[in-house]
Structure 1
Amino acid sequence: MTQRPAWRMPAWYTRPASRILFQRQLAACAQQHVRAVKPPQRYRGGFALRVRLHVEDLPAQIVTIVFGRAVPEVPHVYTDGPAESPHRYADGSLCMWYPYDPVERRWTLKNGPAALLGLVVAHLLREEWWRLTGEWPGQEAPHGPHAP
């Protein structure tokens, strides 16, 4: 006999009001149209938004923010801009904070879409600085085979 999976609280974005509010708040702070898009296959059942970013000193780029079904509180952020960076995951998503940092040092849903967009812009600016100078401005978590 197989066991039924344990009950889990539905993801925050399964309620239309939460999803629409997040999208509108993101559009207001980005001052751009934000549209919902189909999430990548690996995040099937999730929620994704796409916005075009125009930041001074950066090439215009499209940013996709994806919330997966497995961990719906943690966004995965992708961009179509330059990809060379020491702070990208293997799938190309931005490594904006250390996953095991305390909550105060990571983005949470309580922080809202404006704070998330601010972290995305700050990360893209750091990447651009790294491409120009070879140094990463700001704190870095351990990377590579010896990382915890």
Structure 2
Amino acid sequence: MTRPGPHRPAWFSRPAPRLLFQHRIASTGLAVRAVRPPRALRGGFAVAIDIRDPDLPEQTVTIVFGRGRPDTPHVFSDGPRHSPHRYDDDSLCMWYPEDPPEQRWDRRRDGPVVLLGLVLAHLLREEWWRRTGEWAGPEAPHTAQEAA
């Protein structure tokens, strides 16, 4: 993964890429809106998406890109938080940070709709875990983790 240097601004520093990201999510039929990133990720870019799925509690998902790692999303949900796959800041742990790149979401390769699919799959796994105690998907060993 490349980080922006002093001569390379974050992908979301210009309006066109931000609007395109929002438009692609909106093309799924879900309402998406730009929101202010949380204080810890200020200076970044964030969108909120209202999730209305019959298999999930109603919730709003916020996808945040920070300046420090602009290609790595932090995903938050205001729905039920009890889960074995959340970071200390309550963001979703959707992949292991040490996984090879092909096992993690990539903005250029996958795009916003794939990210949204990964978010929904994670939320469904969390809901299944809350109901059954079983995680329906691959897992990496968890110790105290920092948000990636």
Alignment of 1:26-105 (within 5 A): 26-29=25-28, 31-105=29-103
- After superposition, the Cα gap between the structure-2 partners of 1:95 and 1:8, relative to the gap in structure 1 and judged at 3 Å, is farther
Is the partner of 2:118 in helix, strand or coil? helix
Q: 1:45-79 CA distances to partner (integer Å, 9 max, x unpaired)?
A: 10000010112211111000000010000000000
Over the residues paired in the alignment, what is the CA RMSD in angstroms?
A: 1.1
SS of equivalent to 1:126: helix
Amino acid at match of 2:72: V
Find the aligned partners of 1:11 and 1:105 in 2 and give their Cα distance.
23
Unaligned runs of 5+ in 2: none
TM-score (norm 2): 0.90
Gaps of 5+ in 1: 1-5
Secondary structure of the 2:141 match is coil
Q: Percent identity?
A: 60
How many residues are aligned here? 139
Rg bigger for which structure? Answer: 1
TM-score under structure 1 length normalisation: 0.90
